[in-house]
Chain A
Amino acid sequence: MLTSDSCLSLHKHGSSMASDSNSSESQRIAQQRLRIIAGHLQKHKDDDSGTIATECKAEANKGTVPRKRQEIMKWNGWGYSDSKFLFNKKGQAEFTGKRYRLSGMVLPSLQDWFENTFGASVNHKSPATPALNASAVPPASLNEAFVEDLKATGIPFSHEAEDRVFRAHGHCLHEIFALREGKKFERVPDMVVWPNCHNDVVKIVELACKHNVCLIPYGGGTSVTSALECPPEETRCIVSLDTSQMNRILWIDEKNLVAHVEAGIIGQDLERLLNESGYCTGHEPDSMEFSSLGGWVATRASGMKKNVYGNIEDLVIHIKVVTPRGVIEKSCQGPRMSTGPDIHHFILGSEGTLGVVTEVTMKIRPIPEYQKYGSVVFPNFEAGVACLREVAKQRCAPASIRLMDNEQFQFGHALKPQVSSIFTNFVEGLKKFYITKFKGFDPHQLVVATLLFEGDRERVLQHEKQVYDIAATFGGLAAGEDNGQRGYILTFVIAYLRDLGMDYYVVAESFETSVPWDRVLDLCRNVKERINRECKERGVQFQPLTSCRVTQTYDAGACVYFYFAFNYRGLADPVHTYERVEHAAREEILANGGSLSHHHGVGKLRKEWMKESISSLGVGMLQSVKDYVDPDNIFGNRNLL
């Protein structure tokens, strides 16, 4: 199945994407997309790999992602090529492009925040290598017999350096840093194939087994666990199996409220297409703009609105997986079964080590009638956590409730766009005065919770009151819809911000965990302190930024998400330093009762802790499944075990 491409760590959800907030905007994008697709079809005619399998090409490809991803996306950074942060000539930050609400806006406070927080300067640039240096890419070592047989199937493939490099990485800091630096690649896939449907995948897997070729499934490429990295010791031909063209909704069953979807579809396309029929899945991981359904399944993804819709394991009704032993699927779509251990749970979280998820039946819901953002300011993080705990206890969490610590609160403020009217400015000032002076909140202590309510209008308003009443008992003050919405915007542009940081000697990464309620505060404090200490010990010369956020609430605990960034000027090997610090932070998390991962997965980055996390017997159980399903290690990405 697909490798963990879903839950890109840095990014919050994308509900504020241009495409669903502005209809003329989405029309424009759709047109552009059609042009691109047309371009592709055109190209195929001259391409020897271009014969499209007839059975699968039933309709024109409606997906956002073309085969040549590099045509619309950055090859060495996050997201769309046209969207990025930069400091303009006046030193002011702006966000380019037209896709997002923030696009085209000037962010007057970002520079100050950036320079003060990191000790960085807009005059000290660390620019990236402008283009891929083909000579840094090892030549493709092809399995000729496999290629011959593959040609006969008519499934498109490529062994161009750009295509291969694009699929050799996810979005870990070290991966993006290496791309920017133009480092030589140790191992990249030798070729890329683009199946168009389940049957194509069956053929590819059969051929891979026949010719002993290593397959690495690739979905949205948003992994942050080194899951997409090719094992350097792999001597067989490595084929990246890109599912991006398997992106159709095959049917919608309105009686049972389920949809049957090809697993290569990415989050934004899935939501958009379902919206057209009046439905949604409600699954919105922060990476949903780019991550794919198959990737969500393969990594046990979590969406920010899981309180209403559930996490991926709650949403999935039926999964079809192609493995070297054949196809695994259940024989019915019963909502729950007692038929021994649930085989879905071998697949959920298997991170591409067993096979390829090709089709998924998942729950859908009618689009909610009403959505409302909100926010609450608390005097300090402790009060905020206590409030979230109480909300979870009363089981009245809104679709999303997130608590940002003070560092993130300030960061959010730095991302405020230029205010157009004097009046808004005045109101903002008044609010600030009320909270800090009148209510006595310390601006260096206060934290903010952002909320998103969904449902019918009356219920939402009722619900909102209930949550605000609880918040008030913990000293929380309602702080308006705008602040809430801004919090959610921040979540999907933050990944773009990392690229900006890297232009100025700042490296950044995020990681997550889940932890019982009573340990949330201790874990947050200790992990931050550990990061600060490790940075100091490892010669980082500037105070690092450590920040955390409680992003999900459960009955018995919470998901905590950390950001960590520092200015690396003066360090010989910033990536190594960064990796050691992250390693220490993970150890600290485990020592404080946190889990190895809440939704990012294990990949190769956190393999070393698997035994400790699930016991060696547990690892043995997983290993025996792997040995049975894939005895020749065709799915050889070596994640997890």
Chain B
Amino acid sequence: MSTVCASCFNILVFVTLQQRDPMLKRDGFEDILEERRNSSDLKYALRCYAPVLYKGVTPCKANMLKNIVLQSDQLHYVINQVSQESGEAPDIIQEEASVILEEMAHRLQISTVRFFAFALSKAFKTLFQHVCVNEEGIQRLQQAIQEHPVVLLPSHRSYMDFLLMSYILYTYDLALPVIAAGMDFMGMKFVGEMLRMSGAFFIRRSFGGDKLYWAVFSEYVKTMLRNGFAPIEFFLEGTRSRTCKSLTPKLGLLNIVIEPFFKGEVFDVNLVPVSISYERILEESLYARELLGVPKPKESTSGLLKARRILSEDYGSIHVYFGQPVSVRSLAQGKVNRSTYNLFPRHIPRKPMEETQSFVNDTAYRIVRLQEDNMVLKPWVLMASLLLQNLEGLELSVLTEQTVWLRGLALSYAAFLDWPDHAPTAKVVSSSLALHRGLACVSGGRVSLVVGEPLGPVTPEEALFNRAVSVLSCASYRNQVLHVFLRPAMLAVAMHTAASSKKNEVYNCFSFLWDMFSNDFILCPGDIVQDFEEACYLLVKTGAVQMPQQDIVMTDIGQPTLSFFNGLLEPFLQGYQMLLPTLRSEYSVLCVFTGNLRCYEVLSSDMQKNALAALLRMDAVRKVKV
């Protein structure tokens, strides 16, 4: 990016965002653990750290930052407003604001960062084989940080994410981010404060109508952004995705960081999507249990200590891909008329205009898709997709053969596949199986899912539960590849169910699916036609489908592809179907999509939640207060 002029950059964004080029150019990776294995961690933690900041501003002490926020016109306005509404004196409200800020604010300290740099080096080396980072992305980021306020938007799969991010930025001598973290962490004695001192700031999970809280929070974030004191980091998905599918984005924080651009307070804001892919997620089985209704263990220091045992396992490698910075200014060009902000004092909080809201929503979806694009997929992800379509197990040789086939398909759909160079396929398959031996096993030449064996006698419910845990764990790997196949898969299902092969009928089915699944998958609002065309293009390109005149028909060689795709989405269709047994009209439509019911995934609270949301949205069900 450094040498590419801004207009080329605009075009690049346009290309990646608008016409997703399947031959996407991606950077190579460097393993940052390699150096850690060969030199002193202590030296590394104590080395000179002098990052370049935005336009060379001097870093701002945490206390000074708090003062700026507390003295801002924005906050004063809300304080007076709240004071008038509540009848409480402004000083008292001001005091309240100060307490909120105290609870929220980070206290970034280089010494704590150094401690983490040391401790994480040790931990990472035991846990992971490699931590790979695209250095070109780092260079782009470095450039961006100097030119504009930067917002880092990593995908969120693990608690590890934000420690890892800060660790990487420290490693490359980049400005450390301040990170929006959920209040849950604060509950962890000592650790919460450690995180705070490494740049986390804490926000309550919900503060719906609390004007004062919102004002303090948004002004705090904006102050950091406007002055470019540090890159701001938060998770668009709002929480860790327990399913490894990207979650539909939350807009609150994104609205906050984009607003200073619309108000002219900054020239531009750069959004940097970061894709963090884990070969094995530390929370793997925890997530599956959580999805099945076992409550999430409360974040606690003792819990963390107990979790030490994970240190003895091999979690493969991590890939962190820093995407192309996305200029909000370029994105908003022609979409939002900034001069509509001219007629209202900028310090008075206001609900974003419709135009702005839809822009932010759109931007959020596009960023999440950019995250998806650069998620690195391991061979196991393909194998998991195949195993889930064959729950009774597969011959190892068949699995190997099909994995090779699926690899070809994935590559032609521009999946970011990390397939070992020059290794025989059998070796790739067996080492994947070895790493994930907790999920799948080979016995007698057959590969099947492992079902956890509890001690003692097992009730049928327990057996079902265990089975579901292993299916959902495995599904969390299959889910990683869904974004690659989603659109052609929906087309395959649509072709399968449409009454005829007429393009418009297929499209109608496709659009029904698209609409229904838009809570479960990342489907950019308004992109339905584009997605349909992309699906057609991809299926035609891989020879699975022909489109003579107004028809869409399967080719002679299309069967394996289409049936794989049908199988891929089947659990979702079954899940949705099971969730509305009593809803007549929608039910009938849905029934068509599925054959037999053999679906563990419907037990996932995530799917239930999404399906219900979809049904509400589609007016298939109504909320009634009782």
- Give chain A's interface residues, CB within 8 Å of chain B: 518-519, 522-523, 525-526, 529-530, 533, 536-537, 590-593, 612
Contacts and interface: CB of A to CB of B under 8 A. Distances in A.
Interface string B330-359: 000000011101100111000000000000
B443 interface: no
B342 A593 contact: yes
A536 B9 CA distance: 13
A638 B148 CA distance: 42
A523 B341 CA distance: 13
B265 interface: yes
A525 B6 contact: no
B267 A590 contact: no
Tell me the interface secondary structure of chain B in the complex: loop
Contact of B341 (A525, A529, A593): A593
11 contacts: A518-B345, A518-B347, A519-B346, A525-B267, A530-B267, A536-B6, A537-B5, A591-B264, A591-B337, A591-B338, A592-B264
Contact of B339 (A522, A530, A537, A591): A591
B7 interface: yes
A630 to B, nearest CB: 31
A591 B340 CA distance: 8
Contacts of A591: 264, 337-339
B264 A537 contact: no
Contact of A590 (B6, B339, B345, B346): B339
Interface of B: 5-7, 263-265, 267, 337-339, 341-342, 345-347
B7 A592 contact: no
Contacts of A533: 6
A442 to B, nearest CB: 12
Given A530-B267, A591-B339, A593-B342, 19 more contacts: A518-B345, A518-B347, A522-B263, A522-B265, A529-B267, A536-B5, A536-B6, A537-B5, A537-B6, A537-B7, A590-B339, A591-B264, A591-B337, A591-B338, A592-B264, A592-B338, A593-B264, A593-B339, A593-B341
B57 to A, nearest CB: 13
A69 B337 CA distance: 46
Contacts of B346: 518-519
Nearest to A594: B342
A526 B267 contact: yes
B431 to A, nearest CB: 49
B85 to A, nearest CB: 25
- For the complex of A and B, the 7 pairs showing the least CB-CB separation, nearest first, are A591-B338, A592-B264, A593-B342, A537-B7, A529-B267, A522-B264, A526-B267
B75 to A, nearest CB: 16
Contacts of A612: 339
B267 A519 contact: no
A593 B5 CA distance: 28
Most-contacted residue by chain B among A523, A525, A526 (CB, 10 A): A526
A542 B5 CA distance: 14
Contacts of A526: 264, 267
Nearest to B267: A529
A518 B345 CA distance: 9
Nearest to B148: A529
Contacts of A592: 264, 338
Contacts of B338: 591-592
A536 B2 CA distance: 13
A511 to B, nearest CB: 17
Contacts of A530: 267
B295 to A, nearest CB: 48
A518 B264 CA distance: 11
A519 B264 contact: yes
Nearest to A534: B6
A590 B341 CA distance: 10
Contacts of A525: 267
Nearest to A591: B338
B226 to A, nearest CB: 10
Contacts of B347: 518
A180 to B, nearest CB: 30
Most-contacted residue by chain B among A519, A591, A612 (CB, 10 A): A591
Nearest to A526: B267
A463 B341 CA distance: 38
A88 B341 CA distance: 52
A279 B267 CA distance: 48
A590 B7 CA distance: 22
A536 B345 CA distance: 33
A590 B343 CA distance: 12
A586 B551 CA distance: 51
A254 B241 CA distance: 84
Most-contacted residue by chain B among A518, A525, A529, A593 (CB, 10 A): A593
Nearest to B9: A537
A592 B265 CA distance: 9
Contacts of B342: 593
A492 to B, nearest CB: 32
A21 B263 CA distance: 47
B340 to A, nearest CB: 10
A18 B338 CA distance: 47
Nearest to A515: B342
A201 B508 CA distance: 72
A552 B338 CA distance: 25
Contacts of B264: 519, 522-523, 526, 591-593
Nearest to A518: B346
Nearest to B347: A518
A81 to B, nearest CB: 42
A536 to B, nearest CB: 6
Contacts of B337: 591
Contacts of B265: 522
B621 to A, nearest CB: 44
A551 to B, nearest CB: 21
A190 to B, nearest CB: 41
Most-contacted residue by chain A among B337, B341, B342 (CB, 10 A): B342
A130 B34 CA distance: 70
A523 B345 CA distance: 15
Nearest to B265: A522
Contacts of B339: 590-591, 593, 612
Contacts of A518: 345-347
A593 B263 CA distance: 9
A411 B346 CA distance: 34
A536 B5 CA distance: 7
Contacts of A523: 264
A525 B264 CA distance: 9
Nearest to B340: A591
Nearest to B332: A591
A59 to B, nearest CB: 51
Nearest to B73: A518
A592 B263 CA distance: 7
Contacts of A519: 264, 346
A313 B263 CA distance: 32
A184 B264 CA distance: 42
A577 to B, nearest CB: 13
A585 to B, nearest CB: 13
Nearest to B338: A591
A475 to B, nearest CB: 18
Nearest to B346: A518
A519 B345 CA distance: 10
A592 B337 CA distance: 11
A519 to B, nearest CB: 6
A592 B347 CA distance: 15
Nearest to B5: A537
A173 B341 CA distance: 32
A479 B69 CA distance: 35
A590 B340 CA distance: 10
A612 B343 CA distance: 13
Contacts of A522: 263-265
A591 to B, nearest CB: 4
B236 to A, nearest CB: 26
A321 to B, nearest CB: 33
Nearest to A593: B342
A592 B7 CA distance: 22
Contacts of A537: 5-7
